[in-house]
Structure formats: structure tokens, C-alpha cells
Amino acid sequence: MRNLLWWAVTVPLLPLLLPQAWYTRRTALRLPVASGEPQGLAGGSLPGQPLRLLLVGESTVVGVGVACLENALAGQLAQALAARLERPVAWRVCGENGIGVHLAVQRLLPRALSEPADWAVLVFGVNDTTGLSSRRRWAAGLERMIVALQGGGAQVALSAVPPLQHFQALPWLLRTVLGWRAALMDGWARRLAARLSAHHFPGGLSFSAEYLAEDGYHPSALGYRVWAEMLADQFIAECRCPPSA
């Protein structure tokens, strides 16, 4: 019902929204992906067997907004988990800037399954929101990834769809409508996670200028760090930790 209401509100606004979307696409600042190897080790001096952490997803997984992957979500999350668990965390990323869940199943999932993981987090939603992915396409892609990763032995968590209404690079009306759509997508993801015995980690990050990179769209180093600290707390609270020895 909420999806139908969203379309009922959005369709009459298309004459205003489409020019805003076109102008934003033409003028938006495009930042590169972060440099560095797509894997690393946090807390290498700590005792015990490393926890194997995998991140699969879109531009934030490959660190758009910061210079190196150690300062992006993967590196920051691994550091936060290592500090909390007092054991090493071996992290790995399988991501692509601009990708949605449908293509991720084809291009990222085989890479993600090439090595075992203990904990896996899926970071999707922005591109499926702006691309107006259907509920069926969105849920089907997420389900295939969750089931495949669980079959490989990983505990899987979905990171909440980012609240696009706070993305300052977007004009007010466009980001308001897309923020509403992102909330719908996140609700579908949350219910899917519950059905598949996966985890859904809600957001809660207070958006302000210092949390965003210069493009007004991706997180800054501080934004990534705060996001990573929140995810680490949620992992510790909800997920079983494999033995360290």
C-alpha cells in the first residue's frame, strides 16, 4: 500500500523531478574509489585466529569519499571489531561503484564466495533507490546473496538503506521523494532479513556536514568511522562470534 502511495505522489511530480535528476547527474562532483588492496588485517598484533569479515556492495564498500580503503567502511569496521573482540579481523571487500543488487548477484557474488567468511555485511540501496528498482527485483537479488553467503557458512547482516533525504548533493524535492523511497526499500530488506534468519542493522547516523565527503553524497572519513562504530556494536550484540583458537 505504501509503495502504491509513493507512486501516486511521485508520478504527478515527474515534470519537476526529472529535470532535477538530469541536472544533478550532469553537475554532480564524481569522486574516485579509494585506493589500496581489497583486503587487509586489523589488530594483527592481537592473539587468536582472525575473524573473517566480508563486505559486499556499492560505492561505500569501495570507499568513495576517502583516499584509502583503511579509512573507508571496511577498514574502519575491522578496526572497531578488533578492538571490541580483542582478536585480529581479516577484512575483504567485493564492491563496485554504481552497482545495484541485480548486477551484484552476477558480478560480485562469485567473488564474494571465492573465500570463506565468518561475518558478511551487504551494503546496498542507494543505486536501487535512484534506479527505481521494483520490490520484486530488489528482494530477489538480496535473497540470492543472503542464501548463498549463509550456505558458505557466513552470518549475514544487511546495513540499512541510507536516508537519501539527507544527501545534500540532491535538490530538496528530489531528495525528499527519494528518501521516502529509500525508507520503503529498507522496510522490505528488514522483513526479508527476518524471514531468512539474517540480521538487519538499522541506521541512526545523525547527518551533518562533517559526516559527508565534498560531493555531499558519500561519507567522509568521519562519517565512515561513526558508521563503522555503529555496525561493530550491532555485530557484537546480535551475531555469534566464532572461536578464536
Residues 110-154 pLDDT 10s = 999 999 999 999 999 999 999 999 999 999 999 999 999 999 999
Q: Of 14-28, 75-89, 137-151, which range is least confident?
A: 14-28
DSSP-assigned beta bridge partners for residue 122: 56, 158
Q: Which fold has domain 35-238?
A: Rossmann fold (3.40.50)
92's CB contacts (< 8 A; 6+ apart) are 38, 39, 52, 53, 54, 55, 74, 115, 117
- The torsion defined by the Cα of 121, 126, 127 and 129, in degrees rounded to 10, comes to 120
CA angle 175, 109, 78 (to 5 degrees): 75
With bands split at pLDDT 50, 70 and 90, how would you rate the model's confidence at 205? low
Residues in CB range of 119: below 8 A, 6 or more apart: 51, 52, 53, 54, 154, 155, 157, 235, 239
How confident is the model at residue 180, as a pLDDT?
94
DSSP assignment string, 158-171: EEPPP-GGG-TTS-
Tens-digit pLDDT profile for residues 147-204: 999 999 999 999 999 888 888 888 899 999 999 999 999 999 999 999 999 999 987 6
- Residue 77, pLDDT > 80, answer yes
Average pLDDT of the chain is 92
pLDDT at 228 over 90: yes
Which DSSP string corresponds to 43-107? STTSSSPPEEEEEEESTTTTTTTSSBGGGSHHHHHHHHHHHHHTS-EEEEEEE-TT--HHHHHHH
The larger pLDDT score, comparing residue 145 to residue 243, is at: 145
pLDDT of residue 38: 95
pLDDT for the residue 200: 96
